[in-house]
Amino acid sequence: MADLTKKSLTEIVSLIKKKEIKSEEVTNLFIKNIENDKKLNSFITNCNEHAVKKAKKFDKNPKLDTLLPGIPIAVKDLFCTEGVKTTAGSKMLDNFIPNYESTITKNLWNEGAFLLGKLNCDEYAMGSSNETSFFGNVINPVAENTVPGGSSGGSASALAADLTPATIGTDTGGSIRQPASFTGTVGLKPTYGLCSRWGIVAFASSLDQAGPMTKTVEDCALMLEAMAGFDEKDSTSINKKKENYSKNLTNNIKGLKIGIPKEYRVDGMPKEIDKLWENGKKILKESGAEIIDISLPNTKYALPTYYIVAPAEASSNLARYDGVKYGFRSNKGTNLIEMYENTRSEGFGDEVKRRILIGTYVLSSGYYDAYYIKAQKVRQLIKNDFDESFKKVDAILTPSTPSAAFKIGEKKNDPISMYLNDIFTVPVNLAGIPAISIPAGTDNNNYPLGLQLIGKTLDEQKLLNIAFAVEKKINFKQNLNRWWEK
């Protein structure tokens, strides 16, 4: 079974359940791929020995009535893992070993999975290209010198290169969906509050949400089922019954109404994206759905709103990194204040510092109303736009990103052009609703492009069903020649 690592998570789970393959064999095949990779830089920490030990233990006494029996999974290095270094892609946490496990990873391990490694990401999840990581750029397996997107770029790259059968990321403004789109994979940002934030290194707490990144929509349903659930340790966790997303997955979407928002057609967008969008509409119609033109009039204000709200929350969240209790401490300075200032200056990278400064400014005396309160008002308007639309439609179809993957360095020196990457993904985070990106085709370089489906609060099942129906008909095939192994 040489190409087992190319199979979907669902197929691998089924082979293990049928006892046709052992967890140890699966684990060793992924480890082989990880060891053969010489260029992608998608891992910060490898846990090969740990994984083999767990696999052997599983095989001795296989518990098969779980969702992820004997499955090795590498996760974004933003999830705290007990006893395993958790860096958030920052020098600040280069030596941080949590003494607790995040709820989301604990949920995966309770379903039979175990840790394969910690994946590279933009520093504190602030970035759209994985170029802000202290541990270096991640490369997109789609083409050399190309970014995988961000911030969950290591997750997307490792998944697309068959270094992990599935993975998890976090999405504050598009950090799951944009890299999924750039790498030809599936990524879901769940409803705010569906997946616990406990034990995830915080960026912007009213926007942060963990979600699955997988090769297929079916895998995505399976992973979400394992991750989601009420957690009393997260005060924003939604208390609701668990759903069987994978069992209830269907491609019957007859009679559903899908909205097409006119504001998501932007200047300079490649022709191919328009074509894919049209194709998506056609497929939905063929599947029995009804297409309805809608308007989300405040869309253009989502990104400016985000760049007030997210940095404001980040500046507050990142105040904890002071060099006292954990993490990096500068040895420069003669008093406590200088120690703080030097620690934070040396420990954080440029993008993180930039955002802390923006956030501090918009929250500072005299500017709070003009920026922060203004942004929270516009955030309400953006949410109202979605609420109004969802009175008429079941879901909304848009492109995931305004372009395909770009070259390393191409946008690094222009923060605004970098931020524009998230123009189609950010509104969803501001409104707290779920959205999924699925691979839909390629641009003229043959780089993948994604389509985004946006749903109502807690309507993940319907969203997955629509994505499942579209995925089947698009039948996107990724054919990578594994150049990173040479």
Partner 1 sequence: MSIDKDKIKHVSKLARISVDEKKIDDLTKDLSSIFKFIEQLNELNTDKVEPLSSILNEPLRSRKDEINDGKIRDKILENSPKKNEEFFVVPKVIE
Is 128 in contact with 419 (CB distance < 8 Å)? yes
Complex with partner 1: residue 251 or 360, whichever CB lies closer: 360
The nearest distance, CB 421 to partner 1, in angstroms, is: 14
Complex with partner 1: residue 217 or 458, whichever CB lies closer: 458
Would you say the C-alpha torsion 14, 16, 20, 26 has a positive or negative sign?
positive
Specify whether 246 is catalytic: no
Catalytically annotated residue among 42, 151, 246, 437: 151
Complex with partner 1: residue 215 or 411, whichever CB lies closer: 411
Specify whether 364 is catalytic: no
Could you list the beta-strand ranges (E) of 96-184.
114-119, 167-170
Is 449 in contact with 399 (CB distance < 8 Å)? yes
Q: Is 247 left (phi over 0), alpha (psi -120 to 50) or beta?
A: alpha
The nearest distance, CB 307 to partner 1, in angstroms, is: 5
Complex with partner 1: residue 109 or 301, whichever CB lies closer: 301
Catalytically annotated residue among 76, 106, 118, 189: 76
Instruction: Output the six-digit token pair for 461.
Output: 């099942």
Would you say the C-alpha torsion 133, 139, 141, 142 has a positive or negative sign?
positive
Complex with partner 1: residue 127 or 165, whichever CB lies closer: 127
The nearest distance, CB 357 to partner 1, in angstroms, is: 5
Q: Which residues contact 49 (CB under 8 A, 6 or more apart)?
A: none
Complex with partner 1: residue 98 or 448, whichever CB lies closer: 98
Could you identify the residue written with the tokens 């208390």?
239
The nearest distance, CB 127 to partner 1, in angstroms, is: 14
The nearest distance, CB 97 to partner 1, in angstroms, is: 6
**Cα distance between residue 169 and residue 78, in whole Å:** 8
* Nearest Cα to Cα of residue 394 among 276, 254, 265: 254
**Cα distance between residue 174 and residue 429, in whole Å:** 8
The nearest distance, CB 271 to partner 1, in angstroms, is: 27
**Cα distance between residue 351 and residue 360, in whole Å:** 14
Specify whether 151 is catalytic: yes
**Would you tell me which residues interact with partner 1 (CB under 8 A)?**
95-97, 99, 192-193, 206, 232, 235-236, 238-239, 298, 300-301, 303-305, 307-308, 315, 319, 322-329, 333-342, 344-345, 348, 353-354, 356-358, 360-361, 364, 367, 370-371, 373-381, 383, 415-416, 419, 431-432, 457
What end-to-end distance do the CA atoms of the chain give, in Å?
22
Could you identify the residue written with the tokens 């990173």?
484
Is 328 in contact with 95 (CB distance < 8 Å)? yes
**Cα distance between residue 460 and residue 434, in whole Å:** 7
> Which residues are annotated as catalytic?
76, 151, 175
